[in-house]
Chain A
């Protein structure tokens, strides 16, 4: 069901946990985003779709504190926020699985899970900066087990893992830390059929704990399978928002993405 995209862009019912209004981002002369509105609700999977270069990753990076928007405002739980670094977004409970995974290939899975948020030993040693590797490894193993990710070796650098396993580490990391929103930029891109199904199932389970999921994917079948809401980006603008209530088809989504079947969207974009 296509939703009305009035000026406020707000849908019925509860307030969004994350809301972005009029986000503009210029890279020199490239206008990656030209006033995007976006919202994500707790306990919902919001899919963000769009052609290559539509601006999906750029929007996610802005909402994760990696980029500063050229203009526009971001609200978390209704309060305006401004992220000057990813740590600010982390502090608001926002976590991200980046398209490039953002892992340190030379380090162990546990070191990657706790990257930037390392646990220190209690007492004086901790004050001196000594790491609590035992606890970090134990917590990592627990997180992997909970998400049914199998890693044979917790000691070797993750460069020796398969692409899918590396992706799993990145997903587990974001889920371990997320309190309100998880952005996933093509989290199933490197996964096989079975792993993809498992990841989608996992995404549903996280959603059911009340976290908002923002899922970027080029696979329309996956999107229609798990998403509660689908937001369509084209050329740096949000041009449509669908509620995934069974009436939306792959053709609808593709049409909106490419603009082919969508005079309304053109009007909206103008």
Chain B
């Protein structure tokens, strides 16, 4: 509709409102938590490279990236879920469950070719999706809190994994999968390439599409989202499904890399992912966050523990340091929010 432009004295028009200048964008970016965290990361990398000749080697960098890749895949899903104001504590167990499902499927088929791996991947994705949909259903339809729902499925998924395997890891991983996971392209491991592709897709989808926009709105003000005609429940379902699917993907990567289902190896995954997401500047109450921040948040602990190992310092110090850094990061976010609200 158009409104006749009469009466009312004209007031200041918005100078420069239409097109944000690059300078303004840069200043906004430099004021954000990911930027500070990037500085910390650069300082860490610089420090370790300076004090140890073994840090900035191809071999070591490769290792850091490989170690970070599974967590990165999980952290993408966690970023989406947390921007929407939720949590997903189940991803580690769902990863294990999906890995078991995939390994069992491939074992049952018994062949060792691309088709076998494809079937395994499908099983892993179906397993992850099923848990994600279950979480989403409980949270959006039954209105059980995300914390409790995903805590519950964290236990159940792991329990089922133990039941399916009788408590011991499945080690019959087809060579085709191991070859994919350990192979590389110009010295860049396929695992890392896959992770980078997922990260970029996750980034573009979050920041440039309607799905991503709705994720921010739901996290920022779910009631307003509902009044604006957004189906908040459906959106939450999709987000938890996404998180579960990504856990399925991570399961295949892990299965290929370690050639076993690593039943015991993923208890800390959800907390590590949340740590990365929070370090990357995503708000604990939802509404804001970025994938690039999460990338930085994944690498800070990874670089720290790798650097400590190389320097001969007990890697447990990484846990100590990161614990305090997370608290500081959340404190800084709260200060920023309360200053903005005032």
**Residues of chain A at the chain B interface (Cβ within 8 Å):** 64, 66, 85-87, 90, 96, 98, 102-107, 111, 115-118, 120, 128-131, 137-138, 141, 144-148, 150-157, 159-160, 175-176, 178-179, 198, 201-202, 205-206, 208-209, 211
Q: Which of A102, A145, A205, A209 contacts B227 (CB 8 A)?
A: A102
CB proximity to A under 8 Å, residues B217-257: 217, 219-221, 223-230
How far is B4's CA from A209's CA once the two chains are assembled, in angstroms? Answer: 8
- Chain B hits for A104, CB < 8 A: 216-217, 220-221, 224-225, 287
- Determine whether B8 belongs to the interface, using a CB cutoff of 8 Å to chain A: yes
Q: Are B208 and A131 in contact (CB under 8 A)?
A: yes
Using known A-B contacts A104-B225, A141-B18, A155-B28, determine if residue A130 contacts B1 with beta carbons closer than 8 Å.
Answer: no
Residue of A nearest to B4 (CB): A205
How far is B206's CA from A117's CA once the two chains are assembled, in angstroms? Answer: 17
Q: Are B213 and A118 in contact (CB under 8 A)?
A: yes
- Chain B hits for A115, CB < 8 A: 217, 224-225, 228, 230
Q: Are A107 and B14 in contact (CB under 8 A)?
A: no
- Chain A hits for B219, CB < 8 A: 106
How far is B230's CA from A90's CA once the two chains are assembled, in angstroms? Answer: 12
How far is B7's CA from A202's CA once the two chains are assembled, in angstroms? Answer: 9
CB<8 Å pairs between A and B, sample of 12? A85-B229, A102-B227, A105-B220, A106-B288, A111-B217, A118-B210, A130-B210, A137-B18, A141-B18, A145-B13, A146-B3, A150-B14
**Residues of chain B at the chain A interface (Cβ within 8 Å):** 1-8, 10-15, 17-18, 20, 24-25, 28, 205, 208-211, 213-214, 216-217, 219-221, 223-230, 283, 287-288, 340-341
**What's the minimum C-beta distance from A17 to chain B, rounded to whole angstroms?**
14
Closest 4 CB pairs of A and B: A116-B228, A87-B229, A106-B287, A104-B220
Q: Are B217 and A131 in contact (CB under 8 A)?
A: no
How far is B1's CA from A175's CA once the two chains are assembled, in angstroms? Answer: 8
Using known A-B contacts A85-B229, A107-B217, A155-B24, determine if residue A148 contacts B11 with beta carbons closer than 8 Å.
Answer: yes
How far is B12's CA from A144's CA once the two chains are assembled, in angstroms? Answer: 11
How far is B227's CA from A147's CA once the two chains are assembled, in angstroms? Answer: 23
Q: Are A151 and B229 in contact (CB under 8 A)?
A: no
Residue of B nearest to A66 (CB): B227
Q: Are B224 and A131 in contact (CB under 8 A)?
A: no
How far is B4's CA from A3's CA once the two chains are assembled, in angstroms? Answer: 32
**What's the minimum C-beta distance from A263 to chain B, rounded to whole angstroms?**
40
**What's the minimum C-beta distance from B285 to chain A, rounded to whole angstroms?**
10
Residue of A nearest to B229 (CB): A87
Q: Which of A98, A146, A175 contacts B5 (CB 8 A)?
A: A146
Q: Are B210 and A147 in contact (CB under 8 A)?
A: no
- Chain B hits for A102, CB < 8 A: 221, 223-224, 227-228
Using known A-B contacts A145-B13, A153-B17, determine if residue A128 contacts B1 with beta carbons closer than 8 Å.
Answer: no
- Chain B hits for A175, CB < 8 A: 1, 3
- Chain A hits for B225, CB < 8 A: 104, 115-116
- Chain A hits for B230, CB < 8 A: 115-116
**What's the minimum C-beta distance from B10 to chain A, rounded to whole angstroms?**
6
How far is B14's CA from A16's CA once the two chains are assembled, in angstroms? Answer: 38
Q: Which of A103, A131, A152, A198 contacts B210 (CB 8 A)?
A: A131
Residue of A nearest to B7 (CB): A201
How far is B8's CA from A160's CA once the two chains are assembled, in angstroms? Answer: 26
Residue of A nearest to B339 (CB): A160
**What's the minimum C-beta distance from B39 to chain A, rounded to whole angstroms?**
22
- Chain A hits for B217, CB < 8 A: 104, 107, 111, 115-116
How far is B208's CA from A160's CA once the two chains are assembled, in angstroms? Answer: 23
**What's the minimum C-beta distance from B232 to chain A, rounded to whole angstroms?**
10
Q: Are B229 and A86 in contact (CB under 8 A)?
A: yes
Q: Are B17 and A111 in contact (CB under 8 A)?
A: no
- Chain A hits for B216, CB < 8 A: 104, 106-107, 111
Q: Are A129 and B15 in contact (CB under 8 A)?
A: no
**What's the minimum C-beta distance from A133 to chain B, rounded to whole angstroms?**
8
Using known A-B contacts A148-B8, A211-B1, determine if residue A154 contacts B229 with beta carbons closer than 8 Å.
Answer: no
- Chain B hits for A156, CB < 8 A: 28
Known: A117-B228, A178-B1, A209-B2. 19 other contacts (CB 8 A): A86-B228, A90-B229, A102-B221, A102-B227, A103-B221, A107-B220, A111-B213, A115-B217, A115-B224, A115-B230, A129-B205, A144-B14, A150-B11, A150-B14, A154-B18, A155-B25, A159-B341, A160-B340, A179-B1
Q: Are B209 and A141 in contact (CB under 8 A)?
A: no
- Chain B hits for A206, CB < 8 A: 3
Using known A-B contacts A116-B230, A130-B208, determine if residue A105 contacts B221 with beta carbons closer than 8 Å.
Answer: yes
Using known A-B contacts A105-B287, A131-B208, determine if residue A152 contacts B8 with beta carbons closer than 8 Å.
Answer: no
- Chain B hits for A147, CB < 8 A: 3
How far is B10's CA from A147's CA once the two chains are assembled, in angstroms? Answer: 10
**What's the minimum C-beta distance from A175 to chain B, rounded to whole angstroms?**
7
Q: Are B17 and A129 in contact (CB under 8 A)?
A: no
